[in-house]
Structure formats: structure tokens, C-alpha cells
Amino acid sequence: MSESAAESAPTLWERRKYEAMTRIQQVALDLFDENGYREVTVERVAAAAGVSPSSVYRYFGTKEMLVLYDEADPKLLDVLRTAGGGTTFEVSALIALARSLVPAVADALVTDDTEQRVRRSLHYVRTIAEVRDGQMRQMREMEDEVRILFADRSGRDHNDLQVRLAAATAIWGGVAALDHWAATGFQARLRDVYRDAVGSIIDAVEAIFR
């Protein structure tokens, strides 16, 4: 195993956390599908999952995140944070690193189970206003995470305009890809949509710094 792979490998505690969150989310989505999103409380999800309501809130924060949580997001950010030993790169080298890593990592994270879960989640994003609002908040938070990560790894200021534009392009480009997938009736495989989107997003980010 390479040094960067070892650094990014999840700990036992992290693996157990991901497993618990995946299980609770599955229970929640089943209940939402059967009874309607607004008719199911966090307390009911907790009881069905065999955990306390406080555990659900500790893991997810809000009811909306039971729909929106995607374990691929923190995993992909961890890869970008630790790849190459976590050292500072010139922007061009950092983009080249992302181009070599992100498509393969994203492809590996998008399993058949992931595709089915994302399809179910998008149904609620498109039909429940508070879930859609939650997605907007989630994406803004991720945009900030990516902006800080990119700035730190490229040695730029957190408020650098190009860094802000790059982070916004990365995050909202991903949202656009999901919107496209849903609007086309999920005809393509999600990993194929992501593969095409990631290449275009990285091209767009590279153009920002020219």
C-alpha cells in the first residue's frame, strides 16, 4: 500500500461510523418511501434503526441529512487532502494530481447500491422543499471545505477569487451533473455521468487559473 493510500485509509472507528450511518440512512429512506417524508419523525427513524434520537442527530445533524448524506463526499475530500503527502503544490501540479486521482476514486465509490440510494435521495430533493433547501446548505458548506482545502494545498489565500471560483465550479458542477441525470430519467449509469462531469469540471477549473 502506498504512503498516501495508508494515510487516507479509514480507521476502525471511521469504518464503524460509516457503517452505522449507512444503516440508519437505509432505514430512514425505507420509512420515507413507505409513509412519506413529512410523516416520519427522527424519533421513529431512531426506533426502527435501534439507536437513540440523539445518535441520529449526532451523526446527521438534521432530518434532511438523512436523505442527503453521502459517504463518498468525505472520502473524496480525504483523498484530496492527503494525496501526495498533503504537501503544498503549484496550482498546475495540484490540478494534475486531481485529474489523475479523482475520476478513479469517484468511479470506485459509485457502486450499484450508491446509484440506487442517490436516485432515491434525488426524488426527495425534487419534491420536498426543505430537503431541497438542505441540499443548498450542504453544497455551500462543501464549497467552503473545498475552497479551504484548495487554498491550503496550493498555498493561496482562502479568499483568493480564483480559488473561490474553482471551489464553486467543482461543487455546483457536481450538482448540475446530478440534476442532468435526474432530468434524463436516470437513463445513463451514474458512474458514467460522473466520469464525464469530472473531466469537464477539472477542465473548467484549469481554465480559471490560466
Say yes or no: 102 and 83 in one domain: yes
| Distance in angstroms (rounded) separating the CA atoms of residues 64 and 68 | 6
In terms of domains, do 137 and 99 share one? yes
Verify that 93 and 26 share a domain, yes or no.
no
Does position 205 have pLDDT exceeding 60, yes or no?
Answer: yes
Q: Is there a single domain that holds both residue 153 and residue 197?
A: yes
Query: What pLDDT, in 10s, does the model give residues 130-166?
Result: 999 999 999 999 999 999 999 999 999 999 999 999 9
Q: For residue 3, name the pLDDT band (cuts at 50, 70, 90).
A: very low
Residues 93 and 63 in one domain: no
Largest Cα–Cα distance of the chain, in whole Å? 54
Residues 206 and 125 in one domain: yes
Grid coordinates representing 133 are 433547501
Based on the fold, state whether residues 81 and 173 are members of the same structural domain: yes
Residues 16 and 85 in one domain: no
The number of domains in the chain is: 2
* Banded pLDDT at 1 (limits 50, 70, 90): very low
**Residue where a domain stops, chosen among 30, 48, 69:** 69
How many CB atoms neighbour CB 18 within 10 A?
14
Question: Is pLDDT at 5 greater than 70 in this prediction?
Answer: no
Domain boundary among 69, 89, 118: 69
- For 165-202, the pLDDT digits (tens) are 999 999 999 999 999 999 999 999 999 999 999 999 99
Give the CATH number of the domain where residue 114 resides: 1.10.357.10
Contact between residue 106 and residue 192 where contact means Cβ atoms under 8 Å apart: no
Q: Which domain holds residue 2?
A: 1-69
**Residues 132, 186: one domain?**
yes
Are 59 and 98 found together in one domain?
Answer: no
The single residue listed with the C-alpha cell 487516507 is: 8
Q: How confident is the model at residue 9 (pLDDT cuts 50, 70, 90)?
A: low
- Whether residue 40 is found in the same domain as residue 106: no
CB 84 within 8 A of CB 97: yes
According to the model, what pLDDT value does residue 4 have?
45
Q: Which of 69, 84, 103 is the last residue of a domain?
A: 69
Same domain, 131 and 32: no
